[in-house]
Every structure is written in structure tokens, then in C-alpha cells.
Homo-oligomer: A and B are copies of this chain.
Amino acid sequence: MPTGTTPDFSNVLATIDAQRDETLADLLRLIAQPSISAQDIGVRECAALELELLQKAGLEPRLLETSGHPMVYAEWLNVPGKPTVLFYGHYDVQPSDPLDLWYSPPFEPEIRDGRIYGRGVADNKAQHFSHIAAIRAWLTATGSLPVNVKVLLEGEEEVGSPHLDEAVAHYSDLLTADLVYTSDGPVTDVRYPEISFGVRGLLYIELRATGPNRDLHSGHWGGVSPNPIWTMVRALNTMLDDQNRILVDGFYDNVKEPTPGARAAMDALPFDVSEAIGRIGLTEMAPPADLPYADRIMAQPTLNIAGFTGGYGGPGSKTIIPSKATVKIDMRLVPDQHPDEIWEKVSVHIAKHAPDVEIVRLDGGMVPSYTPVEHPLAEVVRDAIEVGFGARPIDIPLVGGSLPDAAWTKTLGLPSFLVSYGDPAQANHSPNESYAVDRIRKGVVTSAALLDGLART
């Protein structure tokens, strides 16, 4: 039986519409409550408001303390034998500066031209609140939920989720489920809803080459003193060939071929490459020439130089042999690479090919993560989106950027689906962040339909 045609679900849809004004009012309250994790502004107050809204929805929420800001948690587990979905979201927001670029105050949400403006409205308050509103509608309409539900709202996503892995491991018994479902981020194109199935991982290192103990006159010392920039250029040149193939021994050992479903999804992406690279001023993608766009982002790791600093960089000429050169490198990793493994291999490479260069690991890195496009629950998710948005979603097997998705897929061993309820114009992290009002109902209906669909698996 297709989703959305049961009498129960019809009642839920009617309730969603009946609660529409109150849902909007609650969301505006949530946006009005600052919760800037980076600056520790209003974070606990916002967690308290989330507790209130979850309670109003019919759950019995509580705080889960972490080494940082607390997580908000609620569960409803009254249909044993039915699947359990874990809704993940975050209640913290980015800092709101530069304030003078906002047309309305960031924590005084305002509706203009069909969009709600306010810091955090899209990232992530309207999106995760859609799940809470769907739960409320189900409980109001039927007195029950069709499946078991857990809600986990993090308070540190905007500072890089530094305690998420630790907390998920710590509360792993509590958080077990059949799938994790996240609504976050914008979509690429307003015409298509999207499901993302995974993310690239990340390793960030710094290379440091040292020459003389101070900058030297290149006339007096040129030819005598080694130059650390040349040392660095030679080291870098051992790491990547002119086709952007990474030359570190074993770097590709654990790269997993896309599954057939992922392959098909990659080949089917309705993405205009020429238009996209034209916007960044390019006419060609990086070598190799024959590699499709999707493979570059979803199947291949990268070794990117994010910065090279050495010697004089000002106007005109200065004739020195610099004392130091520093290079920052980020590596985007694909399933099933691991930042620890890659760190080891890159360290061995540098020790062997550039022993004079110091290598330092920055940050912990992120583990790449994926859920098979073929996973049976993916079809349930697609159906729910079709109910909510009226269109079949595009499958994105892997997102190029890095998120702590491995907390779900690796630490908990669960399938994880990232479904954005947002649109391309929402300006996450920027002034005048916004969210289209008509996407509130679409998101709430999608979440409600997901519960309905999961009940029939």
C-alpha cells in the first residue's frame, strides 16, 4: 500500500494543517532563542526550550550531558517489533556577525516574501523542528506513533561536533536504532529534493621545512644556504603526479568501488558541469580529463594544498632566502579509507622521500561514511520525500565535504540518510539566513510520511 493513503495518515495530514499556525509560532520562538555554541550564548536556554517543545509534542525528553554543550534526547518506544528511527539534528547556530549586513535582527525572526529570516532558521532549527512537529501531529491525531522514535539534538554541530563521537560511543545502547535520519543543509537545485548517503572523510596535516635560522640575503648566501621553499617543492612533487594521482604508497588501498546502485546514481546526476565550473571561472576540470564529475567528488580522495607560506609575499621585490616554509594540506577521504591509516602512510612517505620535512597532524580528522544506495530503507525514505515534496529525490551517493556521519554508520553500525528540507537560497552561516515558509509543511509531511512508511517495512 503506498504511503500516505492510510486513514491514520490522512488524519495526520489534517492535523499538520490544523496545527500549522502553532507550529510556525513554536518555530519562531525557537529561532528567537540564541544558541551560539562558539560563543556560549544561550545554548542551555535553547536546550531548555527544546525540552519544552518535545514535551509539548508528547515525549518525555531529557538532557544528555557531554564534555561540552549538552545534547537533548527523547524517545518513544511503545511499538515493540516495529522499526526504530533516530532523528538527529542540532539546536546550536553559527555566530550572527557581521550584524550590519542583516536586514532584520538575527534573533528577531521576520517573515518577508514567503521566507523566514533569522540566524539558525535553516541550519538547523526549521529542519529538525519538522521532525518534532510530525511527531506531535501523529500523537495528536492517533494517540500513538506507527514506529519507535528517538530524537537526538546536538549542541555543538557548529563548532565541529567535537564530542559527538565520544558521546555516541558512550550512549550507544541508548541510541541504537534501525536507521538515522538527518535533515540538514541546503539542496543543490531547487527543482530536486535530494537524499545523501555518505560523506568524504578528512585528514589535515601541516608540512614544515626549515632552512637557515633567519632570512638571509640571497646575494651573500645564494648557492650556499639551502632554501626551505625548494625543499618543500621537492617534497610536494613526490606526493602527486600531473594527473592528480596521489603517489603515497598504499593511499588507494582501501578505496571502495562505488556499489552498482551508487554507480548508477552517479551516472544519473542531473548536474550541469560546464555551468558549475563556469561560475568559478574555469573551462575545464582538473586532470585527468576523462574523469566524470561525480567520480571526482564521490569516488576519489584528494590531496589538496590549502596554503603554502614562505618568504616574502608583499609587493615588489625582496631578495631573501627564507628561513621557513609551511604547507597546509587537507585530504578528502572516501570509503573505506580512515584518517589514522592515511596519516600513517603519509608519514611514512614524508620520512622516506623528504626526511628534512616535519609533518604534523592538525585536528582529529573525520572518518568517511556511506550507506549503500541499495539499502532497503532508502526506498522508504524516497517514498516519504515524494509524499512531502511531490517529487522523487535525486540520490547523492556521497557528499564531497566532511561531516561526522561515521558516528552513525561506523560507531553505531546503522544506515544513515541525510535529507535536506531546505533550498539553495538559505544562506547558511551567512547574514540573512532564511527558510522558505512553504518548506515547513513539506518537511513536516515528509517526516510524518517516513514514520508511516517505516511502519509498513
Chain A: residues with CB nearer than 8 A to chain B?
200, 202, 204, 211-214, 216-227, 229-230, 232-234, 236-237, 240, 242, 244, 277, 280-282, 284-287, 291, 293, 296-297, 300, 302, 304-313, 316-322, 325-326, 328, 330, 332, 362-363, 399-402
Contact = CB atoms under 8 A, between A and B. Distances in A.
Nearest to A363: B317
Given A213-B281, A224-B286, A399 B310 contact: no
A146 B244 CA distance: 73
Number of copies: 2
5 contacts: A217-B400, A220-B297, A220-B400, A225-B286, A317-B362
Given A212-B281, A234-B237, A330-B317, A222 B302 contact: yes
B296 A227 contact: no
A243 to B, nearest CB: 11
Contact of A218 (B224, B310, B330, B362): B330
Contacts of A332: 218-219, 222-223
Contact of A219 (B212, B237, B322, B399): B399
A352 to B, nearest CB: 15
Contact of A223 (B236, B277, B302): B302
A281 B211 CA distance: 8
B280 A214 contact: yes
- Residues of A contacting B: mostly: mixed
Given A222-B400, A223-B297, A286-B224, A240 B244 contact: no
A68 to B, nearest CB: 18
Given A221-B280, A400-B222, A307 B312 contact: yes
Given A213-B280, A226-B287, A305-B322, 11 more contacts: A220-B297, A225-B282, A227-B286, A229-B307, A230-B236, A233-B236, A233-B237, A306-B319, A306-B321, A307-B313, A317-B328
Residue among A219, A222, A311 with most chain B CB within 10 A: A222
A46 to B, nearest CB: 27
Closest 5 CB pairs of A and B: A219-B401, A213-B281, A223-B296, A307-B311, A309-B313
A107 to B, nearest CB: 27
Contacts of A400: 217, 219-223
Contact of A230 (B240, B285, B326): B240
Given A307-B311, A310-B307, A313-B307, A282 B226 contact: yes
B309 A322 contact: no
Contact of A224 (B230, B293, B330): B293
A220 B207 CA distance: 23
Contacts of A304: 218, 222, 227, 319, 321
Contacts of A319: 202, 204, 304, 306, 330
A309 B306 contact: no
A213 B278 CA distance: 10
Contacts of A402: 219
Nearest to A319: B330
A225 B285 contact: yes
Given A280-B225, A286-B223, A317-B328, A306 B312 contact: yes
Contact of A308 (B226, B234, B310, B316): B310
A202 B230 CA distance: 19
A211 B281 CA distance: 8
A223 to B, nearest CB: 3
A313 to B, nearest CB: 4
A214 B282 CA distance: 11
Contacts of A214: 280-281
Nearest to A238: B237
B328 A224 contact: no
A308 B412 CA distance: 45
Contacts of A296: 222-224
Nearest to A297: B223
A319 B303 CA distance: 11
Contacts of A362: 316-317
A337 to B, nearest CB: 14
A200 B217 CA distance: 13
Contacts of A282: 211-213, 225-226
